[in-house]
Chain A
Amino acid sequence: MSKTIITVVGKDTVGIIARVCTYLAGNQVNVEDISQTIVQGYFNMMMIVDTSGSAKPYVEMVTELESLGDAIGVKIRCQREDIFTKMHRI
């Protein structure tokens, strides 16, 4: 199964990574890579994760991560990696 990309964009605040990772750990999602930048106070993070160990339906995880983002005050997107690799790799 292909990997999943989780992106988090929004105003920087304490504990963003911790809360996202806590959610992922609770759902048996393995984080394989994290890259992160802060531009003019805006937090911008990308995680590459493997969801194959998770029992949760994919769309449910997408929705729950969106809600978590709303609670933290950031935008969290969870997308299958193919949309990016197909577009940027030949």
Chain B
Amino acid sequence: MINILEVNETNKMIEQEKLDVRTITLGISLLDCCDADLDALTRNIYEKITGLAKNLVSTGREIEREYGIPIVNTRISVTPIALVGGQACRTPEDFAEVAKTLDKAARDAGVNFLGGYSAIVSKGMTPTDEALIRSIPAALSATERVCSSVNIGSTKTGINMDAVKLMGEIVRETAEATKENNSLGCAKLVVLCNAPDDNPFMAGAFHGVSEADAVINVGVSGPGVVKHALESVRGENFEVLCEAVKKTAFKVTRAGQLVAQEASERLGIPFGIVDLSLAPTPSVGDSVAAILEEMGLESVGAPGTTAALALLNDQVKKGGVMASSFVGGLSGAFIPVSEDQGMIDAVNRGALTLEKLEAMTCVCSVGLDMIAIPGDTPASTISGIIADEAAIGMINQKTTAVRLIPVIGKDVGDTVEFGGLLGRAPVQQVNRFGCADFINRGGRIPAPIHSFKN
């Protein structure tokens, strides 16, 4: 039988260390909504999403109250819209209409974000893929809750450099289109390599074609809990350190697994995966950077940071895998700058550069995330950064992503407020040497030798 100490430990994690379930994400296939007529398509999409998601938010609230664990977000991911809109959408403007429908469906379902305004172009782009990509700036400036992602490479296919070049331009255009709002559109746009089909976290969530008609995926969090656990092993060796992370990750994930199963049962929708991620928020005590500093770094960004992050990521997985029957999504530590007070502080004190962040992405679960850069950064430079990240993902057989925000009118030294969970970011220095001739070559980077496993 459970005892008072265990009950108090769990409740302390929730009340003082910010343990929460970061998101219940309902994945919905829209493949059966396809129609050659745009009006019929948008009607089908709206009805399917609002029908399946009608009890999503209330069920999340109910579970939150009954178990006493906060569920921060309820969200929706859908089939990449480039696939769904292919028949009806001839132009970028047509696609932007679909984005507006998604926004309305998300608002009426009561979710704060809907992901899947996406195209998978890891090897090549169809005309509809390209039309969707070209519609992203208009779509993100005309909507509030829609998130967009484009997968431009994978270990199996190599990197689509035409798409990389285009995405550099699209990121810039999105920044311009939303410049009245600190280029906020770019916070809802992520460029991925090796994107998973079942990621519940925004902005990169979409419901892949390998998935069932509808599925419940859950993203757990808990950087504060891990930080607190490490406070009790200060000065101990790495074996003790790793054990502490692993045990904590197990407990955190078990809570996520429970919530996922409950949500699945109550909604009558199959359980997909638990994503074992340490996702920070801007609030104090909810920082991944603070965990790394607790391990013994003077500041995140100092030598040793990559090793500290690597062990953190690995132990989170080792602890979490046993706690859940199905693990998927991104699963690891997130290192967004604007959403983590410790990262913001490190940038401000000059300890954390874009280059160090790039190194960290080799060993964490995602990539360069929520980083504000000068508004005059050329598109080709953004493409170069995307190519670098994609190369890390392709060679290391892991997901990498780029969510950069070239804030129009801002430069190094400025700080930009995005608000809410998106936080605030100091504008960071980007290497000023160009790579336009490299990006303009066009074509594809072939798949790496170790992808040929058949």
Contacts and interface: CB of A to CB of B under 8 A. Distances in A.
A84 B62 contact: no
Contact of B3 (A35, A59, A77, A82): A35
A59 B7 contact: no
Contacts of A81: 2
A21 interface: no
B10 interface: yes
Interface string B199-233: 00000000000000000000000000000000000
Interface string B243-281: 000000001001101100000000000000000000000
A84 B11 CA distance: 9
B65 A84 contact: no
B203 to A, nearest CB: 30
B167 interface: no
A84 B14 CA distance: 12
Contacts of B68: 62, 77-79, 83
B17 to A, nearest CB: 13
A72 to B, nearest CB: 18
Contacts of B257: 86
A87 B251 contact: yes
B6 interface: yes
A86 B65 CA distance: 17
A40 interface: no
A61 B10 CA distance: 21
B11 A7 contact: yes
A48 interface: yes
A62 B67 CA distance: 10
A5 interface: yes
Contacts of A7: 7-8, 11
B254 A86 contact: yes
A80 interface: yes
B69 to A, nearest CB: 6
Interface in A59-90: 59, 62-63, 77-89
**What class of interface size applies to chain B in its complex with A?**
20 to 34
Contacts, number: 62
A66 B257 CA distance: 26
B310 to A, nearest CB: 26
Interface residues of A, number: 25
Contacts of B62: 59
B67 A79 contact: yes
B37 to A, nearest CB: 43
B1 A44 contact: no
Interface string B341-368: 0000000000000000000000000000
A58 to B, nearest CB: 5
Contacts of B239: none
B66 interface: yes
B449 interface: no
Nearest to B9: A88
A58 B280 CA distance: 31
A57 to B, nearest CB: 9
B65 A59 contact: yes
A87 B254 contact: yes
Contact of A46 (B7, B67, B255): B7
Contact of B67 (A33, A37, A82): A82
B66 A58 contact: yes
A83 B4 contact: no
B7 A86 contact: no
B225 to A, nearest CB: 11
B327 to A, nearest CB: 16
A88 B10 contact: yes
Which A-B residue pairs are the 5 nearest by beta carbons?
A79-B68, A46-B4, A83-B67, A88-B6, A86-B254
Interface of B: 1-4, 6-11, 62, 65-69, 251, 254-255, 257-258
Interface of A: 5, 7, 33, 35, 37, 44, 46, 48, 58-59, 62-63, 77-89
